[in-house]
Homo-oligomer: A and B are copies of this chain.
Amino acid sequence: MSVMMQYLFQGFNCRADRKYRDMLLDIGTEEIGHVEMLCTMISQLLDGAPADQVDELAKDPLIGAALGGMNPQHVIVSGLGATPSDSNGFPWNGRYIVSSGNLLADFRANLNAESQGLVQVVRLYEQTTDPGIREMLSFMIARDILHQNQWLAAIDEIEQMDGPIAPASFPRELIVEEASRQFLNFSEGEESSQGRWANGPLYDGTGNFEYVAKPQPQGQAPELKPAADHQHSTPGKAPYITNPPTSF
């Protein structure tokens, strides 16, 4: 449901070349269908279960997790239907979607969403041996693989134009140049020095990674003024009101 809403809102809000809007709405519309498929699957799995067995059934993590069905609510609230909640019964909410207007940033959000989604569907596949459900999941796995390919393609198209930093439009001469190269080793151990993220060229072509084993504090120590009187926060102050009443 997150990808459905994310792609639709990105499409509705899209101010770039029309082909992006059309592509986003194509995939968003497909995802409406996927939500329907999952609702139908859940409803069918609950079909015909007597009152006291539905709960057993709903404990199966596959049913429980797919779209929404933690158990007591299935039997009592939703009437053996799916609900827009996760496998803990926590409702889907609007802060789950990302639609910033910046295409590179948003396509990365989409690639992430499809990657997390595929990992979860594959784990669901592992947990069931029901051939019907596995067949439907195989179809969804194929679509998620395709969608990862599509977002990789869309990202590639933008990076060809603008390079790999989102957004590309902030002038480099305004940043603190040094800070854009140094990997700072803040936790114990130096195993982190061995990765690609600490060695070799930066991906935006502006220099090389630099490993700082013992980072030093920069800037001054934080210093806050005492609280304002009207905040009534400071111990040891005599009683007062900043605007005392003249009378009632």
In the complex, which residues of chain B have a beta carbon less than 8 angstroms from the beta carbon of A234?
A: 15-16, 169
In the complex, which residues of chain B have a beta carbon less than 8 angstroms from the beta carbon of A228?
A: 48-51, 80
Question: Is A237's CB within 8 Å of the partner chain B?
Answer: yes
In the complex, which residues of chain B have a beta carbon less than 8 angstroms from the beta carbon of A156?
A: 196, 203
Neighbour of A169 across the interface among B30, B194, B240, CB < 8 A: B240
Q: Whose C-beta in chain B lies nearest to the C-beta of A111? A: B108
Closest chain B CB from A128 CB (angstroms):
9
Neighbour of A170 across the interface among B165, B177, B239, CB < 8 A: B239
- In the complex, the answer to whether B80 meets A169 with C-beta atoms within 8 Å is no
Q: Whose C-beta in chain B lies nearest to the C-beta of A210? A: B146
- In the complex, the answer to whether B101 meets A227 with C-beta atoms within 8 Å is yes
- Flag A153-184 by CB within 8 Å of B: 1 or 0 each: 11011100110111111111011111111111
Question: Is A129's CB within 8 Å of the partner chain B?
Answer: yes
**Interface residues in A, total, Cβ within 8 A:** 176
- In the complex, the answer to whether A192 meets B23 with C-beta atoms within 8 Å is yes
In the complex, which residues of chain B have a beta carbon less than 8 angstroms from the beta carbon of A23?
A: 191-192, 195, 197-198
Q: Whose C-beta in chain B lies nearest to the C-beta of A25? A: B187
- In the complex, the answer to whether A61 meets B76 with C-beta atoms within 8 Å is yes
Question: Is A65's CB within 8 Å of the partner chain B?
Answer: yes
Which residues of A191-235 have CB atoms within 8 Å of chain B's CB atoms? Answer: 191-192, 194-198, 200, 202-204, 209, 222, 224-228, 230-235
* A234 vs B115: C-alpha distance when bound (angstroms): 14
- In the complex, the answer to whether A26 meets B185 with C-beta atoms within 8 Å is yes
* A52 vs B127: C-alpha distance when bound (angstroms): 6
With A166-B148, A175-B145, A230-B50 known to touch, is A88 a contact of B70 (CB < 8 Å)?
Answer: yes
- In the complex, the answer to whether A116 meets B98 with C-beta atoms within 8 Å is yes
Q: Name which of A20, A43, A156, A194 has the most chain B CB atoms within 10 A of its CB.
A: A43
- In the complex, the answer to whether B61 meets A174 with C-beta atoms within 8 Å is no
Kindly list 20 other residue pairs between chains A and B, CB separation below 8 angstroms, not including A12-B40, A51-B230, A79-B227.
Answer: A12-B39, A15-B81, A16-B235, A26-B192, A61-B76, A77-B100, A78-B100, A91-B95, A92-B93, A100-B233, A101-B231, A109-B115, A111-B112, A141-B174, A148-B166, A149-B202, A149-B203, A157-B197, A168-B239, A170-B239
